[in-house]
Structure 1
């Protein structure tokens, strides 16, 4: 199973269309995860044309998107349990990653996906893979735009970050 993971698209403000590099990977995706800050329901329509799309809302998403997606999800894909959250909060002294991991405290998950910081992260905390795909359209202080590809085979997760220079 191939899952394309994105976050923080901030469309249409940051881009009018999905980047070509992302579209190339969406073409054969089995599922798509979006960790919030869509900023437009049109992004969901664009993504869901490729594969079943699951997401949560972020701090820049309006009421319509919050109602549609909620703030936190548990998903079972390819036999793996995945926690999905944007990672924003009111206490600025708590790091986004800490907030995301704490949101799923006590739950046995194979992977936690979060966004908000636009900073790509791929690491393990114990047995849990922790992934922030960065942003395919708004790199902020990062050298490149990014998203992630997760493959699940036999209940095992393998993930990689995909970074690129051109968001067109």
Structure 2
């Protein structure tokens, strides 16, 4: 199974969408995980047209998205237990630290988060912390980024840049 990992799309109106180069990636996804900050609900709806979607709300999402989506989620795909949060809530000095603390009782295999727009991959006490960065709002990064999570007998995460 190929799972597309994205966050912080920050697309403000329904007239704006993903970069053309990224559309070829969307069609490859068996499943999509979005770690918050869609901003506009139409972007959530657009992603549903490509594949099943798991998502949480972020700190700049619309009120309707905040009502529709949880602030965190935990679920299993295959044998992999995944925690999903935007990373803006909770206690901790850094976004990865807040994301880790959000799921300290659940002990998932992977925690996917966003908020910082900075790609991040780190193993902490047997938990893989992963931030895919952003495909539309790279901030101070040199390139836009997203991730692929491949689940077979085991799992593998890769970050891609454009």
Query: How far apart are 1:139 and its partner, in Å?
Result: 0.3
- List runs of 5+ in structure 1 lacking aligned partners: none
Query: Which has the larger displacement, 27-36 or 17-26?
Result: 17-26
Residue number in structure 2 paired with 1:159: 157
Deviations 1:93-136 (A, max 9, x none): 71111000000002221100000000001121132221100000
Q: Where do residues 1-168 of structure 1 align in structure 2 (5 Å cutoff)?
A: 1-12=1-12, 16-89=16-89, 94-154=93-153, 156-164=154-162
SS at match of 2:100: helix
What is the rounded CA distance, in whole Å, between the counterparts of 2:57 and 2:96 in structure 1?
Answer: 16
Q: CA deviation at 1:90?
A: 7.4
List alignment gaps of at least 5 residues for structure 2: none
TM-score (norm 2): 0.93
Q: Report if aligned partners of 1:122, 1:160 keep a CA contact under 8 Å in 2.
A: no
Q: Aligned partners of 2:21 and 2:106: how far apart in 1?
A: 34
1:47-87: CA deviation from partner (whole Å, max 9, x where unpaired)? 11110011000000122111111100011112211000000
How many residues align? The count is 161
What is the CA RMSD across the aligned residues, in angstroms? 1.6
